[in-house]
Structure 1
Amino acid sequence: MKRREPIEIFSLSFLDIISCAFGAVVMLILLAKNGEQGEYQDASQVATLIRDVNSAEQTVNGLQQALSAAQAQLKAAQALGASNAEQQKALEAQVARAKDNVQQLTDAATGLEQTLVERERAAINAGKALSRDDEVGGIPVDSDYVVFIIDTSGSMKTMWPRVLRTLDEVLNNHPKVEGFQVLSDNGDVLGGSRLGTWRKDSKAQRNGVLRGLQGWNGSSNSSPVEGIEAALRAYSRYQGNMALYVFGDDFTGSSYDAALAQINNLNRASSGALIARIHGIAFKRNMGASPDMVKFSTLMREVARQNNGTFMGL
């Protein structure tokens, strides 16, 4: 019978298992101890942490809301900027159209002014015929006695050739008159003739007047009122058969009403009838209309209207 070998309880394998088990127990003890000494094991500390987390979440929510509001404002600003840009473009287009309209109106006004000048020039240049019409181009030429009252100031002398040409054309509208005379705007008579006398109408007399006017330097205060008054006083006996032509570019008087009232008073006979027709011819300088020229035109337009005359600008 074979003999069994004795069994060894404390073999190497057994010791290995025991060592591993013991090590595992030690590890568990260490882990359990560390867990008991953890930082957040206390309930008050956990509550504080929760409050901090909630506060942080609220802060984040507030920041998100602020960000959303800022984004909304940015979008509104961008939309407003786009709208302003569109409005600016629309306004620029309107300004451009307005400039075009102004230019068109300016061109039209210039054309109308030129047409008016040409028509007025035709009106006083239409009397080349040997016989006289009662009315030429809207200017009555039915008077047998004609007085020219001409502003002889320096500003008129700059346009003197045009003034003389216009005088010649007006005379041609009256191929034959009983008498005519030329005064300065102060009432001085051309050539030293006596106020109240007439020049006998003839070709020689007309040519002589034009030659005399070329070098005439009569006194002037750039106001037609004195010359009109002098003519009405000196020639009042030719009531209803006389015409005054007033040439000028300035009125230096201070009152339209006073000047108009004085002229109208002198130009009425005791019966209330007009003594003379009064026509006004305004000369515009190349530099444009001055304030005094506007005043002259304003005065003479109303004088002509109230005294059965015609006003024109050249």
Structure 2
Amino acid sequence: MKRTREQLEVFNLSFLDIISCAFGAIVMLILLAKNGEEGDYKDTSELTKLLLGITQSESENEKLTTTLDTLNQQIKDLDAQAQTVTAEKAQLESDIAAAKELQIQLDESASGLQETIEERKRAALNRNTADERDEEVGGIPVDSEYVIFIVDTSGSMKQMWNRVLKQMDNILNNHPKVKGFQVMNDMGRYLAGAKGRWHKDTPRIRSTILAQMQNWSAFSNSSPVEGLQEALKTYAKPRASLSIYILGDEYTGGSYDPVINTLNELNTDRRTGDRIARVHAIGFIPNVTGSNFQTTRQFGTLMREVTRQNRGTFIALPN
């Protein structure tokens, strides 16, 4: 006979357990919910403080950034000012050096200028009684019968053009009876296109030539070498009574020696070894400083040597 098993009541204990757990869970939820609200409230207050601190820090950072930018700009401005001062100092030193060079050149010409003034004063006092003009004026011999003017027609000379024309007129006045004269620019271009011929020195012709020069604008490289070569090749004949006057303010060429050697060769009588023409120069010293004065100084250096070797005289006329 089989033994009948007793049927277990599974849900009796389990149901109570479930009810207990559920109740405990509800209690825990209530407690957690309450604590969470307090925690959230406390965390929000702290977060607000943190956000306020961050905002203040960002504001301070912006102020510091602005201050730093301002300081950097001030540093840049000071650097620019320092560079400007340095450049001005260098320019000033260059101007001082140029002024000293100009002073040396003017001192070298001072005696000749003073002598010219004295000679003109004496000539003015004796104009009514003198039948002949001096053989030498201001250290420049005026015994030639033919005169050639080589004139720098560059823009810098145009600023002193009236003085140039006056000097040309004075030169012709100071010479004895001039049989003829010619005018060309420093490039060897003739004023009236009369190569190989002479203009008679009459009041009408002289006035016409000087009037034509008022509007003369021939190209110039501020170097009298080409004009001097043209004058010597065309007009320097043995036993010629010829004076060449170079009127300029600059020399833009290079070495002096090749120029001087070439000119001396063209101006030498091969039979006697004597110089054919007298070469004089008048330098018009403009009001320039710095690097612009370099070409003016070069003109004076070259002309002093050219005139010395060719029986002439160099005079510098300050502006």
Q: TM-score range, shorter-chain basis? A: 0.5 to 0.7
Q: What TM-score do you get using the length of structure 2 for normalisation?
A: 0.60
In structure 1, the residue matched to 2:3 is none
Q: What SS does the aligned partner of 1:247 have?
A: strand
In structure 1, the residue matched to 2:294 is 291
Residue 119 in structure 1 maps to residue 120 in structure 2: no
In structure 2, the residue matched to 1:261 is 261
- Structure 2, gaps ≥5 residues long: 1-99
In structure 1, the residue matched to 2:41 is none
Q: State, as a whole percentage, how many aligned pairs show the same letter.
A: 47
Distance 2:109 2:299 in 1: 20
Residue 196 in structure 1 maps to residue 196 in structure 2: yes
Q: Which has the higher contact order (CA 8 A, sep 6+)?
A: 2
What's the CA shift string for 1:247-299, capped at 9, x where partnerless?
A: 01111111100111111111002121211000011111123571001001000
Check 1:256–1:158 CA distance in 2 against 1; reply closer, same or farther (3 A cut): same
Distance 1:120 1:281 in 2: 15
Distance 1:242 1:142 in 2: 9
**245-254 vs 168-177, which moves further:** 168-177
Distance 2:161 2:155 in 1: 9
Residue 185 in structure 1 maps to residue 186 in structure 2: yes
Please say if residues 116 and 138 of structure 2, whose CA atoms lie closer than 8 Å, have aligned partners that are also in contact: no
Counterpart of 2:315 in structure 1: which amino acid? Answer: M
After superposition, the CA RMSD in angstroms is: 2.8
Please say if residues 106 and 316 of structure 2, whose CA atoms lie closer than 8 Å, have aligned partners that are also in contact: no
Paired residues, number: 208
Counterpart of 1:145 in structure 2: which amino acid? Answer: Y
What's the CA shift string for 1:16-52, capped at 9, x where partnerless?
A: xxxxxxxxxxxxxxxxxxxxxxxxxxxxxxxxxxxxx
After superposing on structure 2, the runs of 4+ consecutive aligned residues of structure 1 that deviate more than 4 Å are: 108-118, 123-130
What's the CA shift string for 1:49-89, capped at 9, x where partnerless?
A: xxxxxxxxxxxxxxxxxxxxxxxxxxxxxxxxxxxxxxxxx
**235-244 vs 169-178, which moves further:** 235-244
Q: What SS does the aligned partner of 1:290 have?
A: helix
Counterpart of 2:139 in structure 1: which amino acid? Answer: G
Residue 144 in structure 1 maps to residue 145 in structure 2: yes
Please say if residues 143 and 176 of structure 2, whose CA atoms lie closer than 8 Å, have aligned partners that are also in contact: no
Q: What SS does the aligned partner of 2:168 have?
A: helix
Distance 2:119 2:284 in 1: 14
- Structure 1, gaps ≥5 residues long: 1-104
In structure 2, the residue matched to 1:45 is none
Check 1:116–1:162 CA distance in 2 against 1; reply closer, same or farther (3 A cut): farther
Distance 1:264 1:149 in 2: 17
Distance 1:154 1:228 in 2: 20
Distance 2:284 2:179 in 1: 28
Please say if residues 116 and 139 of structure 2, whose CA atoms lie closer than 8 Å, have aligned partners that are also in contact: no
What are the within-5 Å matches in structure 2 for residues 27-176 of structure 1?
A: 116=111, 118-119=113-114, 121-122=116-117, 125=120, 129=127, 131-176=132-177
In structure 1, the residue matched to 2:312 is 309
In structure 2, the residue matched to 1:222 is 222
Q: What TM-score do you get using the length of structure 1 for normalisation?
A: 0.60
